[in-house]
Amino acid sequence: MYLINSFRFGGGAPAVDPDAQAFITAASITDPTQQSAINTLVTDLKGYGLWTKMKAIYPFVGGTASSHKFNLKDPQDTDAAFRLVFNGGWTHSVNGAQPNGVNGYADTFLTPSTALSLNSSHLSYYSRTISNGTEIEIGVNTSNNYNLLEIRTSGTTYFLINQNGLTSASDSDSRGFYVGNRQASNDIDGWRQGVKVINGTTVSTILPTRKIFIGANNNNGTYALPSTKECAFASIGDGLTDTEATDFYTAVQSFNTSLSRQV
C-alpha cells in the first residue's frame, strides 16, 4: 500500500482518510505532495457536506492514464465504479489529462437515467486551456435532451443539465472551474470560478439514457465535438445549493493550488 507520510499527531499513525487512502492505493500515487492533496480534497469535500452528493470524482492526479482513470468516490477498476476508459488521443501529465480535439474522449460508464436525478444534477470541469472553438468538455445527449458543459464556443459557455433548451453565458477566457447545476425543474445555474454567471429557468425534460463522456459529447452513442482543453478535475453528481457550489470551488481550487496547477 502507498501510505501518506504526513498528518501525524503526537508521533502516531498518519491521519489519512480511508477513502483517500483507497484511491491512493488504487491509483499507485507515491508522491507525498499528491497524496496530501488527495487527502485534503477528500476531507474538505466531507467537511463541506459535498462528498455524499458526488457520484464520480476525477481528480486527474498521478500523471498517467492508469492513475487518471480512477473515480475518487469508488476507486475500483470496473465499469460499475465509473472508472474512465480513455479513447483516441490524450496527453497525460502532472497537470491533468488533455484530449487532442480530434478523437480523444473518456467513457465514464455513468448514465444519467440510472445514476442521476432529473431535477437535481451537476457536472463540473476544471479547464486549464484557452480555446474558443466549438468543443464540448463533458456531456451526453439522447434525442436532443442534453446534460453537458460546452466551455467557450465563440465566446459563449453553455450549461445544459437534463434539458433541450439552451442556457448560456458570455465567456472571455475558458480557463477555470466550471459547474453546470440544476437545483429544481426550472432552476439551472452556471458557475465559473465560484461565481454564478447564469441563473436560468429552462425546464428539465428527461435524463439522457446514454453514458456521459469527458473530453467530448456522447451524441446518441457517438463521440462529437471533441475538446482540446486540459482537465485538472471533473465530477458528476447531485445538484448543489449556492453555498455548496461556492464551497465546491474553494475545495477544488485549493486542491489544484496544492499541486501548482491552478488557474
Q: Is pLDDT above 50 for 108?
A: yes
Please report which helix (H) or strand (E) contains residue 201, including its range: none
For cell 476525477, the residue is: 58
Q: Where are the alpha helices (DSSP H) in the chain?
A: 18-26, 32-47, 65-68, 112-115, 242-258
The DSSP line for 140-181 is EEETTEEEEEEEEETTEEEEEEEESS--EEE-S---EEEEEE
Report pLDDT digits (tens) over 36-81. Answer: 999 999 999 999 999 999 999 999 999 999 999 999 999 999 999 9
pTM of the model: 0.95
Over residues 233-257, the mean pLDDT reads 98
Report pLDDT digits (tens) over 6-44. Answer: 444 344 556 899 999 999 999 999 999 999 999 999 999
- What is the pLDDT confidence band of residue 105, given thresholds at 50, 70 and 90? very high
Cβ-contact 98, 135 below 8 angstroms: no
Residue 203: which of 251, 145, 151 has the closest Cα? 145
Kindly state the percentage of the chain with pLDDT values over 90: 94
| C-alpha pair distances (Å), 156 with each of 13, 149, 240 | 50, 11, 23
Cα separation, 169 vs 46, in Å, equals 30
Please report which helix (H) or strand (E) contains residue 225, including its range: none
Give the per-residue pLDDT at 14.
Answer: 61
- Based on its alpha-carbon atoms, the radius of gyration of the chain, rounded to whole angstroms, reads 17
Kindly state the percentage of the chain with pLDDT values over 70: 95
Q: What average pLDDT does the chain have?
A: 95
Over residues 234-261, the mean pLDDT reads 98
Report pLDDT digits (tens) over 124-160. Answer: 999 999 999 999 999 999 999 999 999 999 999 999 9
CATH topology of domain 18-258: Jelly Rolls (2.60.120)
